[in-house]
Amino acid sequence: MSKPSLSVTTASPRAKWIAGILVVSYAMVAMIPLVWIFMTGFKSPPDSISYPPKVVFEPSLEGYVNLFTTRSRQTDEYIESLGPPETWYDELVRKRNMVITGPSRFADRYWNSVVIGFGSTFLAVFLGTLAAYGFSRFKVPLKDDLLFFILSTRMMPPIAVAIPIFLMYRELGLSDTAAGMILLYTTVNLSLAVWLLKGFVDEIPREYEEAAVVDGYTRLQAFVKVVLPQMRAGIAATAIFCLIFSWNEYAFALLLTSGNAQTAPPFIPIIIGEGGLDWPAVAAGATLFLLPVVIFTVMLRNQLLRGITFGAVRK
C-alpha cells in the first residue's frame, strides 16, 4: 500500500507546513486592522490618538458610552451642583467634564439596519429562488438575454440609480422610509440571488425531480419537497451574501434616507466627539455593527463553503 504522502492529491507534509504558515501569516496580517478596531473600541479617547500607537492600554468603556449617548461639556461648578453620579457611565462621562444629555441615534440606526437588511434579504431570496428554478428547469424564451438583463441591472453605479429613484420616491412618498429601502435593496440583490441560486439549482440532478414526478408528485410538489431541501445550503449562502450587501450598503442609504430610515453605515462615520472623530466610539460602533455578520458567517461557515463549492460536496 502506498503512503498517503505519495498521493498526488495530498501534499507532502513539508509543503503543507509551508503553505499553512503562509496562509496563517496572511490571516494574521489581515486581522491587524480588525483587531485594531476592536481594541480601539476599548481605548479612552486620549489613548486612541497617542503616539506611538498603544498596544497595551487601560481598557475603558468610554467609546461605548459615547456611542450610545449624547453629551455636553459643562463647567465644574455645574457638574458639582448635580450631586454624585448615579451610574457608572455618568461617572465616566463626568471625568471629562461632561454630562449625558440623552441617548444617541445609534440604536435607532442599528435597528433600521436590522429591519431593512432582513426584510430585503428575505424578499430577494424568496423571489430569487423562484426565478432561479424557473430559469434552470424550464424553456424560457430569450433565457440568456433575460439572465443577462438581470445581471446588467447590477452594472449601474448606485449613484446613477439613485438619481431617478430619488425623484420617484419623492413623488411616491417613499423617501426616507424603511419600505422604500427594502424595495430598493431587494431589487439590487435580486440579480445576485438569481445568478447564484440558478447555479445551485443547475447542479441538482433533474433525475431527482423526475423520480418524484414518477412517484406521483406534481411539478410544484417536486420543487417544494425535492428541490428546495437540496437548495438549502445554496439559499443560506445566497442569503448571507444578500444580507451582507443590505447590511453594508451605504450610497443609497446616504442619499435616500435621513432621520427616519437611516441605517448604521452612513451614521457610524460621522460620530463626532470633542475634537475630531470620536475614534473609540466609531470603533465601538464598527465592532457592534460587524459582530452579527461575523457570528452569522462563522455559524454558517460549513454551509457557506458548501454553498460555494456545491459540486464538490454534493453528498
Closer CB to other proteins, 172 or 229, in the complex: 172
Window contacting other proteins (CB under 8 A); options: 57-65, 84-92, 228-236, 269-277 = 269-277
Among 3, 14, 33, 83, binds other proteins (CB under 8 A): 33
Q: 3-state DSSP helix/strand/coil percent for the chain, to nearest 5?
A: 70, 5, 25
Among 153, 206, 208, 232, binds other proteins (CB under 8 A): 153
Window contacting other proteins (CB under 8 A); options: 35-43, 56-64, 114-122, 227-235 = 35-43
CB of 31 to other proteins, least distance (A): 6
Contact pattern from residue 184 through residue 223 relative to other proteins, giving x for each residue in contact according to CB under 8 A and a dash for the rest? x-xx--xx--x-----------------------xxxx-x
Cell digits for 112?
A: 433600521
45 alpha-carbon distance from chain centroid:
27
Measured at the alpha carbon of residue 169, what is the angle toward residues 163 and 174, in degrees to the nearest 5?
Answer: 140
Closer CB to other proteins, 6 or 83, in the complex: 6
Subset of residues 117 to 136 that bind other proteins, contact rule: CB under 8 A: 127-128, 130-131, 133-135
The whole-angstrom separation of Cα 273 and Cα 250 is 22
Among 103, 154, 229, 232, binds other proteins (CB under 8 A): 154
CB of 86 to other proteins, least distance (A): 20
Closer CB to other proteins, 82 or 159, in the complex: 159
What are the φ and ψ backbone dihedral angles of 17, each rounded to 5 degrees? -60, -50
Q: Is 88 in the site for other proteins (CB under 8 A)?
A: no
Q: What are the strands, taking DSSP E only, across 34-127?
A: 69-73, 98-103
The whole-angstrom separation of Cα 275 and Cα 263 is 24
CB of 204 to other proteins, least distance (A): 15
What are the φ and ψ backbone dihedral angles of 70, each rounded to 5 degrees? -110, 145
- 8 A C-beta contact, residue 194 and residue 125: no
Closer CB to other proteins, 83 or 138, in the complex: 138
Question: Given phi > 0 = left and psi -120 to 50 = alpha, else beta, which region is 142?
Answer: left
Cell digits for 6?
A: 505519495
Subset of residues 43 to 82 that bind other proteins, contact rule: CB under 8 A: 49-53, 72-73, 75
Cell 423526475 belongs to: 210
Query: Residue 71 carries which DSSP code?
Result: E
Closer CB to other proteins, 115 or 146, in the complex: 146
Cell digits for 294?
A: 461575523
Q: Is 239 in the site for other proteins (CB under 8 A)?
A: no
Closer CB to other proteins, 162 or 204, in the complex: 162
Q: Is 303 in the site for other proteins (CB under 8 A)?
A: no
Q: What are the strands, taking DSSP E only, across the chain?
A: 69-73, 98-103
Among 151, 206, 208, 232, binds other proteins (CB under 8 A): 151
- 8 A C-beta contact, residue 178 and residue 261: yes
Cell 428546495 belongs to: 228
Among 297, 295, 290, which residue's Cα sits nearest to residue 264? 290
Among 103, 205, 229, 311, binds other proteins (CB under 8 A): 311
Measured at the alpha carbon of residue 215, what is the angle toward residues 209 and 216, in degrees to the nearest 5?
Answer: 95
Q: Is 108 in the site for other proteins (CB under 8 A)?
A: no
CB of 236 to other proteins, least distance (A): 15
CB of 248 to other proteins, least distance (A): 4
Among 5, 111, 114, 170, binds other proteins (CB under 8 A): 170
